[in-house]
Structure 1
């Protein structure tokens, strides 16, 4: 593709990518750092230039950093948002060349061979990169070389352009232990390493050192492979004459759904969130957001869910453009069809979606099992649309259907009472099953369990009530904690 052209590679390194992203959203005029929980403590993940100038550094514990710099402003790091920010920078970098790849979590590699003349020359292109990054308040270091390894080394350890020989061996992208071992042998520079006989190096350090050296010097090729662009799930429909009737808009929505769902089916994906945009002839736009309880790609099931939102649209003098985009896509592989009857959750998911369009999907909740033997902690509550009840409760002893705060009984003694009063009722024990001793979870602070051990009994009364009682040996007393169905 680039026959007759000298290969040129640019390395864009963003040494403060995470802190630059956070400060763009909320600027502060103070020492700033992002922290991440590592090695059982909060440590500095990234920091701005002001904090570095005060002696703080990455990997430093946040407690030590605050003691050293009381004015430090900190936030919790978000590596997921940093990855999205780097992806946006990769799209921006395609203005310089089409061949742009990620380089770790804070860098980009550009194959600018044949593209520099579009900016006048290479120096003008690099100057444009610096100026745009400076205006965006993004710290950028550049390196240019004939190989990917050379560009990386110059960006991280040297100037933009220059020779590799004076740079430290760490510029070869070697492991820190290997770098330390080479420095102990007196091989601190790339030039020293290149002048050393290769056979002893290979025997002592393996092929990795020589491979990185050859890649940097251009004796061994190294590919630049950009990640493929994610698929875009969006369709558009333009009308020769404006429409406004409910039936016409729903018919157009059906025409948009068919190709969109066909593309989702081809990619074995399903949509969880759809955005329908309707542009009127007066250039005003209205949007209808549809959030689904489960990933789906069946246009027949999706279309009726739009009816309520479409009915509320003000068409004005008519709608001339409609656009449908799947903004929340999940994998939905094809499943084998068998003759065995299986439960189909589609009707339940459609019902959750219909109710969720009125009150919000987050307000439709379900109980899920939790890993705890404490009755109050044996379950969690989660939105039904964003959770899957794959597993049921694993319980060696039966648990009551109704659970309420412990209510005291008028009973004495460690044995289950033969007669007791509860909620103004006089009850007689018919059968008592137990005890089941439950100990507090010492690693959690729960005011209700500070009394210590509990001995639980299942009591079947002659009056028909089936209760769950417990006795506290430390402070002798009886309580009712639940009722069986």
Structure 2
């Protein structure tokens, strides 16, 4: 089932200006507007949240906005610059989210995420991840996922706070309550419809099409059909000029999995030859199959390091052919290297003494393309005494960070995601517990070692100025070993709650 991700950037012109200004940008709470010309009039074409909160509205005369808000920052509109920057952002999204991405001018991006959400941990995680990155860059965004471009576009702009996910296979009820402006109709048409008593999309759904088409033309019916999935609305994916790709157009549509696999292998050979000419290897590949009904099916694979091994790439792509729904047939297949990096020639080891390092990248690529890149990682040490901050995740084939693991005190093989409280019987201030109850099971302590005192990192936040933890390694009657700690020094309440927690389990 098709799923479409619509990203709305309501403050794109002002956000872009702030990013361009860098350190010279006005403060975030300083009102900023963009002014353009409409004939001889100077009107507000964009206003940030601070300006809107003070009463400025898009379409308001610039002179009125200046009189309304003291200290208003005004910049000239640059629609061409806004459009070019939106295209660049769409390319960034293309490399990181899904194979089919297009700029949805003037204030958004549309993404066909069919079959790609599992690579990001699901639709909710994909939404949160993208919006989080944009927020860190100072870009206001809201987004929605639905079965059609029209529905996702409407929800992103009129229902998302800041996100909304329509259930797969949804009906018209998800957009029925939205205003008629959500249908992407020509600017003057919503006002004319309101004069006839139409306020919501639901008001149009039950109306006969003929009278509406006679007065307003086919636009209303077309937009309704697109939003409800009754007619196709293809997304023309954005493609950078330097993109390396191979394409095959068929005189007769193909649909058999064996045929798709055969032509996929031919496209891979052609693409690898093109990459070799440029001295590059592919890190991310997209196979886009254009069906005869104008719908596209896409497959994305990623590699841990740049490669141009045709046999290996073909196998990774063919592993996902079962996810392609050919419908009534595929008329065009395109294979493109969305991310390509320099790849030099590799000299084989010929020494009788040195042994070649085992190459596990093939295994990592296979697993990552099945369960998602985030599920395959390595743990690396971080310079921190606080246990939960002393480890981080890095890509499976990332180079060593150079940091070493602490060896003064043993660390558990399994560190819990977050410390879990336990009920204990212990002698204070610095004795280990005699017994503890964890997850409803009471365990009697047979042996213990400690305490290892860990101090808070005062330079991170004031609350850790006096915070301490006393860690103990304990072993119960069954021989199981655990890592417990007391929050505090056992005497001063300012150092912690004096409660006990379990933080890890030794192998």
Q: Return the TM-score normalized by structure 1.
A: 0.49
Q: Return the TM-score normalized by structure 2.
A: 0.47
